[in-house]
Amino acid sequence: MTDPSATDFTPDERPMTAAFRADRRALDLTEYEAAGGYEALRKALRELAPTDVTKVVSDAGLRGRGGAGYATGRKWSFVPMGDDAPSVKYVVCNGDEMEPGSFKDRYLIEGSPHLLIEGMALACYAIGAKTGYIFLRDQYDKPHALLTRALAEARAKGYLGERILGSDFNLEINLHVSIGRYMCGEASGMLNALQSDRPNPRWRPPHMASAGLWSRPTVINNVESLCCLPGIVRLGAERWHALGRTDEGGTRICGVSGRARRTGAWELPVGTPMREMIEQYAGGMRDGYTLRAVLPGGASTPLLSAAEIDVLMDFDHMKQVGTGLGTGTALLIDDSVCPVGLCLNLLRFFAQESCGWCTPCWAGLPWTVGVLSDIEEGRGRPEHLDLLVEQMWFMGEQMCFCDLAPSATKALGTALKLFRDEFERHIDEHHCSYRTADSTARR
Amino acid sequence: MATVAITIEGTRYEVDDTRNLLDICLSLGYDVPYFCWHPAMGSIGACRQCAVKLFWDDDDDKGEVVMSCLTRPRAGNRVAISDDEVVRFRARVIELLMTSHPHDCPVCDEGGECHLQDMTVMTGHAYRRYTYAKRTFENHDLGPFVTHEMNRCIQCYRCLRFYVDYAGGRDFAAFGLRNEVYFGRLRDGALDSEFSGNLVEVCPVGVFDDKTFAAHYTRKWDLQTAPAVCPYCARGCNTIAGERYGELRRVLNRYNGEVNGYFLCDRGRYGYGSVNAVERVRQPIVGLAGLSASELVRGLGARLESALGERRVAVGARPRVARPRPVGIGSPRASLEANFALKRMVGDDRFFLGMAEREHTLVERAAELLRAGPSATPSLRDIEAADLVIVLGEDLTNTAPMLDFAVRRWARLRPTADEERLGIARWNDAGIGMVKKEEPKALWIAATHAGKLDEIAAETWHAAPDDLASFTLALAAALAPQRRRRATKTPLSDEAARVERYAAALRAATRPVVISGVSCGSVALLEAAAALARALPSLPAAASDTAAPAGTPDASAPPAAAVPAAPAGAAPLALVVPEVNTLGLMLLGGRRLSDAFRLAAEGDVEVALVIENDLYRRAPAASIDAFLRACGTVIVVDHVKTATGAAAAAVLPAASWAEGTGTFVSLEGRAQRSLQVMPAPRPAQPTWRWLSALAAAARLPVGQDWITLDHLLDELARERPDLAPATRAAPPADARFTGMKIPREASRASGRTAMHADVSVFDAPPPADRDAPMSFSMEGYRGRPPASLIARYHAPRWNSVQALNKFQEEIAGPLRGGDPGVRLIEPPSAGAGAAGAGAAAPAGGAAATAPAGAAQPATAPRVVAPAPGRLLAAARHHIYGSEELSMLAAPVAGRAPEPYLALGARDAERLGAREGRPLAVVLHGAGEPRLSLPVRIDDSLPEGLAGLPVGLPGLPFLDLPAELEIDDGGDRA
């Protein structure tokens, strides 16, 4: 199969990306409008009450695209509504795409910044927020420039501001470019960062839906979740849901990086088999490389062995095989990659990004890095493997304040099962055999 | 609040579900290790040290690991502290916290009283497995009070939370992330907060330690310690003071849930250097050298006797021609006992309080207002239960720092409807702080100048003292039911609008507290504040009940907790007075200092006895010079050298507060006993003992039988039934506990039998303490002492200050047996009928003879604008500088400002004054002092109002407020 680029599909099949230009230049406002842009917002403001929008999103079955997969409509339903509700509420877009291996949010913004703005407008309308914030990763210079321009265009055209499209709905969206930390991607840490506080996670309650940003009701949605909204509103819950190939429904951005023939991101029906994505969309492995495992949804998901890639890519099926869909962007691990070096590299990242709040994370991750370095560099001892297992218990979900450390060790946990012999060989032979090979774990 | 039944370690308990499991377990006596949780600052869940296993109900056999500090109990829960997994996990937390810890206990000041040491032993972690490099930091010089050794940090975040969230400090932050979080300032520099010293106790390791203690360091177990009362302001905070080799070495907080809770201010913590100061009087100072103390007493006694003898003759034979007679001048910084002894010796009509003229008037009025009621003075718990606090004319940060802190902590923790609606538990510190940040503020201030509390106030207004009084009266009037403002079309004037804003907030409040005081020198303001309090509702009894649960004082404990805070229709009223025993002295009663001047001028003073009082701080130097000259013989008893002592015929060396036991009455009206920490260095002895010796030498009918403090206290109780409750502030000296005294030294003290071995290898008997049931030894009663005799916090496995948990009824609740101190002032309706419960019935003394004038409506003061060309100067107090004794401690003196003149920007411009440049002024007050002071431009000052610091070295006595004008030497006249 040739490159199945997005342009091969209609907006009804691929609601987010069908209009993307082949040359990857972002759609400007005119182009976005020509492709049906802002029609969903127009429809919502004319025909739907805010709670109806929430209902459509719930019925469509949209689950959060940031990684946890929480039902978006349900998340919104906790926001106090009605006359007694606080008059100030916020929608915050999580664009702090810091997950190693993930680039789908960038792909969406760089393809169509107005898609995100329209999605935010719909979310704000649904929960009654008059202010939205887009929290963008520091290094995203191009999305930064595109969003800045798109917001100005939207304001000038009356998609933002007072009495939008003749309705009673007012909305201002602010772009906040972060100084950049992994913890800013954790929803409550992000709110703290927006408030100029340290991006430490918050204890719940209070839940953010009732007391979030500046202790006002707040909804935090991932860029992609918001980008799904115009399609859902335009197509209706049923038609959008029917796009999926499993019960979960809808489409999502999936991506591949690693030594595939074609790396990239594609909007695929939810439930597309991973093998189909790797072999058809990504064109399979490059010559001379064999797939050994997949890091399916970013650095904080458990490894999937190559034997299991027939799994259907939705949250439930991925969970059934012991991993997670995460961000939906898969990193292919081939036979030139040292599993110990891979884990070391991942753990280094997480140890670097620990916010320093809870002990298992800030003290446990650096120690784990130390042990993995020892093994990788030939200083490993047999008891180190038990120590690693102990560390993973110590950084378990019940032990930590947030999910950073438990997630950080997921890949390591599966690597110890899938590649235990490799770890043992490092220890027995006091060196990493991949380092002598042409390709190393470091490249 | 609801009570739920849960099981802890197999035992069933009924527990309060508004508390978290950690709090509950500790209150029940279980040892659960913890770091980031603090009993006064709640839970954040960072350290993960307090993990326990929670089984949801009887059917749950799997259980889950939970952090007990973040878990509320639910009916049927089973809690396992000794479950294998959590025991292993807690040991691992310590192992991880230790990865970068330097293990430098032998050279660490925290060693031996270190929470990390305690928790390490408690969890059983022993062998190090971490083999990688430790992270290291550079440290800051944080000024004279606090050391900084960041390598020891275990990242519990307590310092940050205390310093920024609770104390309001702005020069401290957490920097960096992962295992490299740095807690400190941006760069070297003295910590700006007045409460920085609490970091020493808040930090569970040795990152922040007492820098003054480090200069003469001793391990905790080698310190001789006793329960003291801070002598450096009127708040009466409870302290634990420690001594070795005759040197006072440090001061720590002593918990009192009604006064200072877990904290102290930096003046209180670091002012102790006054005890060791070179300015101490260590030997008698006399004009004739070579007299021993006893010879001197004999000589002075004879002098006294002859004076008294002449009086006896004079009274009997020729009453109209009175001969010179001795007078006694007391002191607001001397104990109730010393002042009472002096008053007994010289007689009621010859006893003078030794306060400045204006201060005497102010304090007298304040005492009247408090005694007349109906407002009660609020305890710390009353303040914590408030829903609004209004501060009038006080810069609390500098005049009563721990009231400032109480207000700050209240502002952060006061319950709000939002927190309840959102389901945020009272212990959820981060949640409370987050919501509170966005809530409307409930602190309202009107003062003469900007203060640090302004930043957490809903509104502040700055005006001259009498303008503040008028404003307060207008506020009280606006609250009267019949005076509710009708809606009018005409716009309000600025003044009326301001009154309306404050009044609207006060009207909405159901539990307001009024704080004012004497510091800005306006009697009218005191009266107006009392009038305002009367116009406001009282704290509901329920509020103080919930604030102090389980507060069941035993028979010997103060009745205060059981008495409702105030009758309906009067908000609690706190009035700040200047010194540690100002209120006690006024309750004792006596004549004005100016009356003594008059007597002396008439040639009626043959001998003047001045105790612990530098009169040059009370009146212009010329008046004091004249007075001292007019007195035949001036005998000073004091522990520090003063200008008064320098002019006296003799100075007898008194015991300092750390060397003698005495009772002090705080601004709350709480009588508290401060116990001797160490034997007074001979020949120093408590002032009342000198007086007793003089009485014996002079063969006086009173005073000779004051052998122990209890003799004197018995006499006080007999002579002054209204003050009798004060004698119960602590157990008498003959109290025994299973037949023993309470030891001042720890059981493991290595000192007593060895520390003087260089002098003699024979084991000298420990000095006797005749005044308190405590020994100068490690021998004695090892059980839990009564609350007023707690000399240190220690319990098996708990060597740090956190051992306090074991001394409380429940966490952050009252000490077992009730918080120390006896309230002497309760409003009449509360105290009436309860024999001896209050001191409402005055019995002699100048203050007491005045009628209960508070019942009369206060009238607005006549506000007089300064004469043309003049400014009104109001007093400015400084936490470091305005208090006499603490300035003898070098670290405190180093933080004191140089004298200055504060001017508003417009006045400064009009006068051509520039920031930092000296300006010569003359003050039209007592003594007409001429001053040349550098100008400090203060934008908070309204036009026409200036500010002058009081009490600073280098400044003469200033009677403020007073008008001042440019001293042009006649050029511009």
pLDDT tens-digit readout, B349-380: 999 999 999 999 999 999 999 999 899 999 99
- Distance from the Cα of residue A354 to its chain's centroid: 19
- What amino acid occupies position B554? D
Which of A80-94, A230-244, B301-315, B734-748 is predicted least confidently? B301-315
Residue B923: give its domain's CATH number: 2.40.40.20
Closest alpha carbon within chain A to B432: A206
Q: Give the one of A351, A394, A396 whose C-beta lies nearest to B178's C-beta.
A: A351
Sheet with A291-295: strands ordered across: A264-269, A251-257, A329-334, A291-295, A304-305
Question: Do B349 and B472 belong together in one domain?
Answer: no
How far, in Å, are A76, A207, A323, B423, B428 from residue B419 at the CA level?
A: 21, 12, 38, 6, 10
Which residues are CB-neighbours of B140 under 8 A, at least 6 positions away? B148, B184, B185, B187, B188, B189
CATH number at residue B47: 3.10.20.740
Q: Are residues A55 and A187 in the same domain?
A: yes
Domain assignment of residue A281, yes or no? yes
Per the CB < 8 Å rule, is A181 touching B177? yes
For residue A73, the tally of other CB atoms under 10 A from its CB is: 20
Is the pLDDT at B837 greater than 90? The verdict is no
Q: Do B339 and B388 lie in a common domain?
A: no
Q: Does the residue A1 lie in any domain? A: no
Residues with Cβ within 8 Å of residue B288, at least 6 apart in sequence: none
When pLDDT is averaged across residues B128-154 and rounded to a whole number, the result is 96
- Per the listing, tokens 């969230």 go with B165
In this structure, what CATH number is given to the domain that contains residue A297? 3.10.20.600
Assess contact for A405 and A354: CB atoms under 8 A.
yes
More confident residue, B20 or B566: B20
Q: Looking at the domain assignment, is residue B637 inside a domain?
A: yes
Q: Is the pLDDT of residue B829 over 70?
A: no
Q: Above 60 in pLDDT, residue B544?
A: no
Q: Which domain holds residue A393?
A: 339-436
Task: Tell me how close the Cα of A207 comes to any Cα of chain B, in angstroms.
Answer: 8
The reply to whether A411 falls in a domain is: yes
pLDDT band at B855 (very low <50, low <70, confident <90, very high): very low
Kindly report the three-state secondary structure assignment for every residue of B372-430.
Answer: HCCCCCCCHHHHHCCCEEEEECCCHHHHCHHHHHHHHHHHHHCCCHHHHHCCCCCCEHH
Contact across the interface for B48 and A401, Cβ inside 8 Å: yes
Partner residue opposite A366 with nearest CB, options B51, B179, B434 = B179
B430 part of contact set with chain A, CB < 8 Å: yes
Pair B486, B619 in one domain: no
Nearest to A215 among B130, B179, B437 (CB): B437
CB B589 within 8 A of CB B896: no
Domains contained in chain A, number:
3
CA distance A353 to chain B (A): 7
pLDDT at B103 over 90: yes
Tell me if B942 is assigned to some domain.
yes
Instruction: Tell me: do A279 and A143 sit in the same domain.
Output: no
Q: What is the pLDDT of residue B704?
A: 87
CB A347 within 8 A of CB A372: yes
Residue A87 at interface with chain B, using a CB cutoff of 8 Å: no
**B694, pLDDT greater than 50:** yes
Distance from CA of B417 to the nearest CA of A (A): 13
Which of residues B730, B747, B767 is at a domain's end? B730
Structure confidence at residue A8 (pLDDT): 78
Query: Which stretch of B108-112, B300-304, B796-800 has the lowest confidence by average pLDDT?
Result: B300-304
Q: Which of B66, B132, B178 faces A356 most closely, judged by CB atoms? A: B178
CA distances in angstroms from B964 to B520, B900, B969, listed in the order given: 16, 14, 14
Q: Which residue of A has its CA nearest to B52?
A: A399
- Is there a contact between B48 and A387 if contact means CB atoms under 8 Å apart? no
Same domain? For A63 and A123 the reply is yes
Say yes or no: B362 and B410 in one domain: no
Written as six digits, the tokens of B133 are 């490099």
For B431, the closest of A205, A396, A398 (CB atoms) is A205
- Specify whether A218 is located in the same domain as A145: yes
> Is the pLDDT assigned to residue B692 strictly greater than 60?
yes
pLDDT at B418: 87
Task: Among A182, A353, A359, A404, pick the best mutation site for testing chain B contact (most B Cβ within 10 A).
Answer: A359
CA distance B441 to B452: 15
Residues A120 and A263 placed together within one structural domain of the fold? no
Residue in B200, B86, B179, B554 with CA at minimum distance from that of residue A352: B179
Q: Which residues of A touch B177 (CB under 8 A)?
A: 181, 183, 353-356, 362
Number of domains in chain B: 4
In B842-853, which positions are buried (b, 16+ CB within 10 angstroms) versus exposed (e)?
beebbbbeeeee
Number of A/B CB contacts below 8 angstroms equals 113
Answer whether B187 touches A (CB < 8 Å). no
Q: What's the confidence (pLDDT) of residue A6? A: 47
Q: What are φ and ψ of residue B892, in 5° steps? A: -75, -45
Output the domain CATH number for residue A420. Answer: 1.20.1440.230
A169 and A90 share one domain: yes
Whole-number pLDDT of residue B852: 41
B167 pLDDT higher than 60: yes
**Domain membership flag for residue B902:** yes
Task: Indicate the residue among A209, A242, A275 that finishes a domain.
Answer: A242
- How far out from the chain centre does Cα B152 lie? 31
The rounded distance, in Å, linking the Cα atoms of B872 and B668 is: 31
- In a domain, residue A6? The reply is no
Q: Based on the fold, state whether residues B334 and B449 are members of the same structural domain.
A: no
With 70 as the cut, is the pLDDT of residue B548 above it? no
- As a residue count, chain B comes to 973
On whether both B893 and B961 belong to a single domain, the answer is: yes
Question: Is some CB atom of chain A closer than 8 A to the CB atom of B62?
Answer: no
Residues A399, B52: contact at Cβ < 8 Å? no
User: Would residue A8 count as lying in a domain?
Assistant: no
Please give the C-alpha separations between residue B95 and each of A399, B158, B266, in angstroms, as whole numbers: 15, 20, 34
* The residue to which tokens 């739920």 are assigned: B4
The answer as to whether B140 is a domain residue is no
Please tell me whether residues B541 and B399 are part of one structural domain.
Answer: yes
Looking at the structure, do residues B440 and B338 belong to the same domain, yes or no? Answer: no
pLDDT value at residue B863: 60
Does the beta carbon of B51 lie under 8 angstroms from any beta carbon of chain A? yes
- Regarding predicted confidence, which is higher, B796 or B850? B796
For residue A122, the domain's CATH number is 3.40.50.11540
Instruction: Please answer yes or no on whether A359 and B65 come within 8 Å at the CB atom.
Output: no
B385 in any annotated domain: yes
Whether residue B423 lies within 8 A of chain A, CB to CB, comes out as yes
Q: Does A213 share its domain with A263?
A: no
Q: Is residue B757 part of a domain?
A: no
End-to-end CA distance of chain B: 72
Residue A94 Cα, gap to closest chain B Cα (Å): 21
Contacting A residues, span 199-258, partner chain B, CB-CB under 8 Å:
202-203, 205-206, 210-211, 214-216
Q: How much of chain B is in helix, strand and coil states, percent to nearest 5? A: 35, 20, 50
Contact A359 B97 (CB under 8 A): yes
Find the residue in B nearest to A207 (Cα): B422
Spatial contact of B788 and B673, defined as CB atoms under 8 Å apart:
yes
Q: Average pLDDT, stretch A226-234?
A: 98
Query: Quick check: is B851 in a domain?
Result: no
Q: Which of B155, B174, B422 lies nearest to residue A206, judging by beta carbons?
A: B422
C-alpha distances in angstroms, A441 versus A98, A334, A346? 21, 10, 12
The verdict on A205 and A219 lying in the same domain is yes
Inter-chain contact A398–B418, Cβ cutoff 8 Å? no
State the average pLDDT over residues A323-335.
95
On whether both B401 and B428 belong to a single domain, the answer is yes
Give kind and range of the element (H or E) at residue B66. Answer: strand B64-67
CA distance linking residue B639 with residue B657, whole number of Å: 9
Token pair for residue B695? 């009485």
Please report where in the chains the tokens 């405190």 appear, as a residue: B892
| Ramachandran angles phi, psi of A216, nearest 5° | -105, 155
Provide the ipTM: 0.95
3-state secondary structure of B901: strand
Q: Which residues of B touch A358 (CB under 8 A)?
A: 45-48
Q: Is residue A321 part of a domain?
A: yes
Last residue of a domain, one of A242, A274, A306: A242
The C-alpha atoms of residue B837 and residue A225 are separated, in whole angstroms, by: 69
> What is the pLDDT confidence band of residue B564, given thresholds at 50, 70 and 90?
very low
Closest by Cα among B33, B78, B96 to A393: B96
Angle at alpha carbon of residue B283, lines to B280 and B286, rounded to 5°: 110
Verify whether the Cβ–Cβ distance B177 to A367 is below 8 Å. no
- Among B131, B179, B431, select the one facing A203 at the smallest CB separation: B431
| B473 Cβ neighbours under 8 A, 6+ residues apart | B528, B531, B532, B858, B859, B860
User: Would you state the structure tokens that stand for residue B250, as one six-digit string?
Assistant: 């440090």
B699 and B584 share a domain? yes
Percent pLDDT > 90 in chain B is: 79
B54, B71, B156, B179, best to mutate vs chain A, most A CBs in 10 Å: B179
Structure tokens at A82: 């009605």
Q: Which residue in B35, B53, B54, B92 has the most chain A C-beta atoms within 10 A of its own C-beta, making it the best mutation to test that interface?
A: B92
Whether B387 and B356 share a structural domain: no
Host H or E run for residue A238: helix A237-242
Quote the domain boundaries for residue B441: 378-546+564-571
Report whether B269 contacts B251 (CB < 8 A). Answer: yes
Residue B865 in domain: no
Rounded-to-integer distance, Cα B281 and Cα B639, Å? 5
A344 touches chain B (CB under 8 A): no
Quick one: B312 and B455 in the same domain? no
In this structure, is residue A390 part of a structural domain? yes
For residue B100, the chain A residues in CB contact (below 8 A) are 363
Q: Are residues A327 and A348 in the same domain?
A: no
Residue in chain B closest to A358 (alpha carbons) equals B46
Is A123 domain-assigned?
A: yes
Return the residue of B nearest to A405 by Cα.
B178
- Please say whether the beta carbons of B233 and B519 come within 8 A: no
- H-helix segments, A315-419: 315-320, 339-353, 359-376, 383-394, 404-408, 410-418
For residues A160 and A38, state if they share a domain.
yes
**Chain A environment of B158 (Cβ under 8 Å):** none
Cβ distance A355 to B177 less than 8 Å, yes or no, reads yes
Give the model's confidence band at B487: pLDDT under 50 very low, under 70 low, under 90 confident, else very high. low
Of A214, A356, A396, the CB nearest to B155: A356
Please check whether residue A351 touches B, CB under 8 A. Answer: yes
Rounded (to 5) percent helix, strand, coil in chain A = 45, 15, 40
What's the mean pLDDT in B493-501?
Answer: 92
Number of neighbours of residue B33 by Cβ within 10 angstroms: 24
Which of these, B486, B413, B420, lies nearest to B456 by C-alpha position?
Answer: B413
B271-282 burial, b at 16+ Cβ within 10 Å, e below that, comes to bbbbbbbeebbe
Residues A95 and A176 in one domain: yes
* Same domain (yes/no): A111, A257: no
**Average pLDDT over every residue of B892-920:** 95
Ranges of H-type helices in B487-561: 494-508, 523-534, 541-547
User: Does B46 contact A359 at a Cβ distance shorter than 8 Å?
Assistant: yes
Domain boundary among B707, B730, B753: B730
What pLDDT, on the 0 to 100 scale, is given for residue A75? 97
Residues A45-72, mean pLDDT to the nearest whole number: 96
> Which of A84, A90, A357, A389 should we substitute to test contact with B (largest number of B Cβ atoms within 10 Å)?
A357
Final residue before a domain boundary, out of B64, B97, B130? B97
- Give the CATH number, domain containing residue B649: 3.40.50.740
Residue where one domain finishes, among candidates A242, A268, A302: A242
Which amino acid type is present at position A138? D
Distance CA B262, CA B198 (A): 9
Residue of B nearest to A191 (CA): B434
CB of B40 less than 8 A from some CB of A? no
Give the CA dihedral A360, A363, A368, A369, nearest 10 degrees. 140
Q: How many residues does chain A have?
A: 443
Mean pLDDT in chain B? Answer: 89
Burial environment of residue A328 by CB neighbours within 10 A (0 to 12, 13 to 18, 19 or more): buried
